[in-house]
C-alpha cells in the first residue's frame, strides 16, 4: 500500500520586496522558500499511517517545481517519506494549478497509491484547487478540509471528519483510492532536525519531465493552462492624512473637509 503526498515549495515575502520587471511576480531574490505548511501536516498524516500499520506502507512525496524545490522534498524525506519525485522541465513554466494537477494525476497513475494527500491550499497562491483537480483528472472520490482521518492500510474505504461552519462536524466514509485535502491541525508535524535533513540529502530524488509521464507539450505551461497571471502589484495605500495645527485650526480644517465631502455627495 502506498500514500502519495503532493507537496509544494511555497514562497513568502521578505522585507521591502520588489516586483519583477515583467510585473507578474515578486523578484525571486525577495522570496523566502519553505515547504507549504498544509503539506507538512499531510506528510505527517501519511507517515503516521505507515508507523501505525502492520503491513508495509510506502510514503512517496511528489513535487512539481524547479531544482530549488528539492529543499522541500528533502525536508519530507527527513521527516519520514520513503521516496521523493520531482517533475519539472522548462516547458512547464507558467502552468496554472489545474495544469499542475494534471501532472500530479499522471504521477498517481504511475504510482497507484491507495490514498493521495494534498494540503487544503498553498500558503502563497492559495488557489485551493490542485488537490481537488487531481481527483477530477483521476476520477477518484475526494474529500476536502479533513481534520481527522481513520484508515487502515489496504482497507476499501477511509473514514474522515471535516469541520463545517458553526462548529458542526461532518463525518463521511470514502471509497479508496481517494484524494483527501488535509487541514492544518490534524496532527502535530514532527521536527526535522538539520542533521536528518542533511542525511536525507543522501536519499535520491527522482526527477522526471512531463514527457516521461506521457503528457503532451500542449498540456503544460502557459499553453496548457486556462488561466494566466496578468500582473502582480501592491495596491496604493489609503489616503489618510494627519491634520496638524492648534485645536482651533484642526477643528476648522475638519469642518472644511466635511463640508467639501458632504457638499460633493449632495
Partner 1 sequence: MIRDPTAVTRVLFEDFAPAAIAAFYVVAFAAVTVFCFGVYVEVRKYRRGSAADVDGRLLARFQAMIGTVLSHRTVAHRDRAAGAAHRLIFYGFVLLFLGTATITLDYDLLGPLFGVHFWHGAFYLWFSLVLDVAGVLLTGGLLYMMYRRGWLKPPKLDYTRPDRQPGDPDYDRSGYRREDWAFLCTLLVIVATGYLLEAARLVWLEARPDVWAYRWWSPAGAALAEGLRAAGMSAAAGGALRTGLWWFHGLLALVFIALIPFTKVKHILTAAGSLLLRDPLAAQRLPRVPEQQQRAGAQYITDFSWKQLLSLDACTKCGRCHEVCPARAVGAPLSPRDVILSLREFANRTLESATLPEQAELDVHGKGPGQVAMETLWSCRTCMACVEVCPVAIEHVPVIVQMRRKLVEEGQMDPQLKRTLQTIHKTGNSFGESKRKRAAWTKALPFAVKDARQEPVDVLWFVGDYASFDPRNQKVTQGLAWLLREAGVDFGILYDGESNAGNDVRRVGEEGLYEVLATSNIESLSAASFKTIVTTDPHSYNTIRNEYPDFGGRYEIEHYTTLLLRLLQEGRLNIARQLGLRVTFHDPCHLGRFNKGYEAPREILRLLGCELIEMGRCRANSFCCGAGGGRIWMPDPVGADRPAHNRMREAAAISGLQVYVVSCPKDLTMFEDALKATGNEGRFVVRELIELVREALAHRQAQGAPGVAA
Q: For residues 45 and 219, which CB has a smaller minimum distance to partner 1 in the complex?
A: 45
Q: How far is the CB of 244 from partner 1 (least distance, A)?
A: 24
Q: How many CA atoms lie within 13 A of 101 on its CB side?
A: 24
**Cβ distance 131 to 105 under 8 Å?**
no
Residue 157: all three cell numbers together: 474505504
What are the angstrom distances between the C-alpha of 102 and each of 28, 212, 255? 26, 13, 60
Q: How far is the CB of 101 from partner 1 (least distance, A)?
A: 28
**Cβ distance 9 to 39 under 8 Å?**
no
**Cβ distance 41 to 183 under 8 Å?**
yes
Q: How far is the CB of 198 from partner 1 (least distance, A)?
A: 6
Residue 169: all three cell numbers together: 462536524
Q: How far is the CB of 27 from partner 1 (least distance, A)?
A: 13
Q: For residues 52 and 252, which CB has a smaller minimum distance to partner 1 in the complex?
A: 52
Q: Exposed (0-12), middle (13-18) or buried (19+): which is 124, by Cβ within 10 Å?
A: middle
- How far, in Å, CA of 79 to CA of 74, rounded? 8
Radius of gyration of the chain (CA): 24
Q: For residues 184 and 207, which CB has a smaller minimum distance to partner 1 in the complex?
A: 184
Q: Classify strands 142-150 and 157-163 as parallel, antiparallel or unpaired.
A: antiparallel
Q: For residues 17 and 259, which CB has a smaller minimum distance to partner 1 in the complex?
A: 17
Q: For residues 78 and 133, which CB has a smaller minimum distance to partner 1 in the complex?
A: 78
Q: How far is the CB of 204 from partner 1 (least distance, A)?
A: 19
Q: For residues 12 and 250, which CB has a smaller minimum distance to partner 1 in the complex?
A: 12
Which helix (DSSP H) or strand (DSSP E) does residue 188 occupy? none
> Residues interacting with partner 1, by CB under 8 A?
14-16, 32, 34, 188, 190-198
What are the angstrom distances between the C-alpha of 28 and each of 10, 69, 75, 108? 12, 14, 21, 30
Q: How far is the CB of 192 from partner 1 (least distance, A)?
A: 8
Q: For residues 179 and 192, which CB has a smaller minimum distance to partner 1 in the complex?
A: 192
Q: How far is the CB of 197 from partner 1 (least distance, A)?
A: 7
Amino acid at each position: 500500500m502506498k500514500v502519495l503526498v503532493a507537496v509544494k515549495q511555497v514562497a513568502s515575502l521578505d522585507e521591502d520586496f520588489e516586483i519583477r520587471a515583467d510585473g507578474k511576480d515578486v523578484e525571486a531574490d525577495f522570496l523566502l522558500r519553505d515547504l507549504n505548511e498544509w503539506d507538512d501536516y499531510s506528510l505527517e498524516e501519511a507517515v503516521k499511517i505507515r508507523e501505525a500499520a502492520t503491513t508495509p506502507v510506502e510514503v512517496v512525496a511528489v513535487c512539481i517545481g524547479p531544482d530549488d524545490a528539492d529543499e522541500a522534498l528533502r525536508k519530507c524525506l527527513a521527516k519520514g517519506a520513503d521516496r521523493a519525485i520531482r517533475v519539472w522541465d522548462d516547458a512547464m513554466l507558467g502552468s496554472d494549478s489545474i495544469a499542475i494537477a494534471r501532472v500530479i494525476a499522471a504521477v498517481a497513475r504511475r504510482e497507484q497509491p491507495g490514498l493521495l494527500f494534498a494540503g487544503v491550499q498553498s500558503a502563497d497562491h492559495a488557489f485551493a484547487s490542485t488537490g481537488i483537480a487531481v481527483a477530477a483528472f483521476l476520477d477518484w472520490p475526494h474529500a476536502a478540509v479533513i481534520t481527522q482521518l481513520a484508515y487502515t492500510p489496504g482497507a476499501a474505504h477511509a473514514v474522515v471528519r471535516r469541520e463545517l461552519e458553526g462548529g458542526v462536524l461532518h463525518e463521511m466514509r470514502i471509497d479508496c483510492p481517494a484524494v483527501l485535502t488535509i487541514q492544518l491541525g490534524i496532527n502535530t508535524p514532527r521536527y526535522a532536525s538539520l542533521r536528518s535533513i542533511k542525511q536525507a540529502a543522501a536519499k535520491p530524488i527522482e526527477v522526471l519531465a512531463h514527457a516521461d509521464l506521457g503528457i503532451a507539450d500542449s498540456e503544460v505551461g502557459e499553453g496548457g493552462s486556462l488561466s494566466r497571471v496578468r500582473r502582480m502589484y501592491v495596491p496604493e495605500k489609503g489616503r489618510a492624512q494627519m491634520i496638524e495645527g492648534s485645536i482651533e485650526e484642526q477643528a476648522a480644517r475638519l469642518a472644511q473637509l466635511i463640508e467639501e465631502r458632504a457638499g460633493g455627495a449632495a
